[in-house]
Amino acid sequence: MLMMFYLMFICGLWVFSSKRKHLLMTLLSLEFIILVLFMILYNYIIMMSGELYITMFFLSFAVCEGALGLSILVSMIRTYGNDYFNSFGLLQC
């Protein structure tokens, strides 16, 4: 069961590293990686009979990361009209 989570994590990293053209695809792959890490953390804590408070902190940070990514995506689409990384220069003012 745990091996399946590790395989899902590796697949998420592969999609993150291969889909660098669109910001939306990178954000979706990051969210997938965070959800897989949450499942791994949850199973580890359940197996060790620990408290689940840390999972709530982890989920709150994941939500903040997702909201920040979406705000960057909306700002980029309003400014440049699309979410392609190659359509704008990173060193422009």
Q: Which CATH number is 52's domain given?
A: 1.10.287.3510
Enumerate residues 6+ apart whose C-beta is below 8 A from 33: 9, 12, 13, 16
In a domain, 53, yes or no: yes
User: Is the Cα torsion angle 20, 24, 27, 32 positive or negative in sign?
Assistant: negative
Domain around 73: 2-87
In a domain, 92, yes or no: no
In a domain, 46, yes or no: yes
In a domain, 30, yes or no: yes
- Give the pair of three-digit tokens for residue 47: 């197996």
Mean pLDDT, residues 5-13 taken together? 93
- pTM reported for the whole predicted model: 0.83
pLDDT tens column, 20-79: 788 888 889 999 999 999 999 999 999 998 888 999 999 999 999 999 999 988 888 888
- Structure-model confidence comparison of residues 23 and 85, the more confident one: 23
Tell me what pLDDT residue 82 has: 79
DSSP tag of 81: S
- Structure-model confidence comparison of residues 92 and 35, the more confident one: 35
In a domain, 20, yes or no: yes
Indicate whether 85 pLDDT > 90: no
